[in-house]
């Protein structure tokens, strides 16, 4: 196990997460006692306690007062905030993870974009107008694309869509930097934003959008 971390807490967090991923601490089992685990990892019990609390908030663990700490099935208990961690842990599965992420984005965006254009066209236009000032390089387009989809999600009037996009941000923008390295991809994106803006102006935002 090769762990790169800048602090004892970061090291402990990576150690525990990778141990869960590699089934050293399998889902459904109990973590070693605090004293044993702190000695195993090489951190203080105070540091370990802080790390365990953070991992519990992210869904990796279940901590109950007076009971041993339980390892969760993170697929069932964690949120979108662990996407980047999963990509780092399993490089071979990254293409499938990316496909799944983009599929989710496509499926939900068809709903919130249509709603934003139909019910809040002024807000939608304000979001889409940001595409006029984007610099022509991959990083700028990755940020723009994320912010446009996120902005339209909130413009739909249902903030839950925005929260879902918030959870995707890290991996989404990493994918975007690779995708938008291609000038043709940047051109296609600008065309898409322009088309949405025209639909918004024309009021052609029925079920087909």
30/129 same-domain check: no
Q: Are the CB atoms for 200 and 121 separated by under 8 Å?
A: yes
Cβ contacts of 45 within 8 Å, gap of 6 or more: 34, 35, 38
Q: Which residue stretches of the chain have pLDDT < 50?
A: 205, 208-209
130/185 same-domain check: yes
User: Which pLDDT does position 4 carry in this prediction?
Assistant: 61
99/180 same-domain check: yes
118/186 same-domain check: yes
User: Which pLDDT does position 129 carry in this prediction?
Assistant: 96
Bridge partner residues of 62 (DSSP):
70
The total domain count for the chain is 2
User: Which pLDDT does position 61 carry in this prediction?
Assistant: 97
User: Which pLDDT does position 208 carry in this prediction?
Assistant: 47
User: Which pLDDT does position 87 carry in this prediction?
Assistant: 86
86 in any annotated domain:
no
pTM: 0.80
What is the CATH number for 175?
1.20.120.530
User: Which pLDDT does position 66 carry in this prediction?
Assistant: 86
Task: Give CA–CA dist 190/130, Å, rounded.
Answer: 11
174 in any annotated domain:
yes
34-41 helix and 8-21 helix, angle to the nearest 10 degrees: 110
Q: Which domain holds residue 39?
A: 8-78
User: Which pLDDT does position 19 carry in this prediction?
Assistant: 95
Q: How many Cα atoms occupy the beta-carbon half-sphere of 201 within 13 Å?
A: 9
98/198 same-domain check: yes
Task: Give CA–CA dist 201/115, Å, rounded.
Answer: 14
73/96 same-domain check: no
């Amino acid at each position: 196990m090769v762990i790169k971390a800048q602090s004892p807490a970061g090291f402990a967090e990576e150690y525990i997460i990778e141990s869960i991923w590699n089934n050293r601490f399998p889902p459904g089992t109990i973590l070693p006692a605090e004293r044993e685990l702190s000695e195993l990892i090489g951190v203080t019990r105070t540091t370990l306690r802080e790390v365990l609390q953070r991992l519990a908030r992210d869904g990796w663990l279940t901590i109950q007062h007076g009971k041993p700490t339980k390892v969760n099935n993170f697929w069932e208990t964690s949120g979108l905030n662990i996407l980047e961690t999963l990509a780092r842990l399993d490089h071979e599965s990254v293409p499938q993870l990316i496909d799944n992420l983009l599929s989710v984005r496509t499926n939900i965006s068809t709903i919130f974009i249509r709603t934003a254009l139909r019910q809040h066209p002024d807000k939608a236009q304000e979001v889409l107008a940001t595409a006029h000032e984007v610099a022509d390089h991959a990083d700028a387009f990755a940020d723009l694309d994320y912010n446009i989809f996120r902005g339209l999600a909130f413009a739909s009037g249902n903030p839950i869509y925005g929260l879902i996009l918030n959870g995707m941000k890290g991996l989404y923008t990493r994918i975007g930097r690779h995708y938008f390295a291609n000038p043709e991809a940047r051109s296609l994106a600008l065309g898409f934003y322009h088309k949405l803006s025209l639909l918004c102006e024309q009021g052609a935002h029925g079920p087909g959008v």
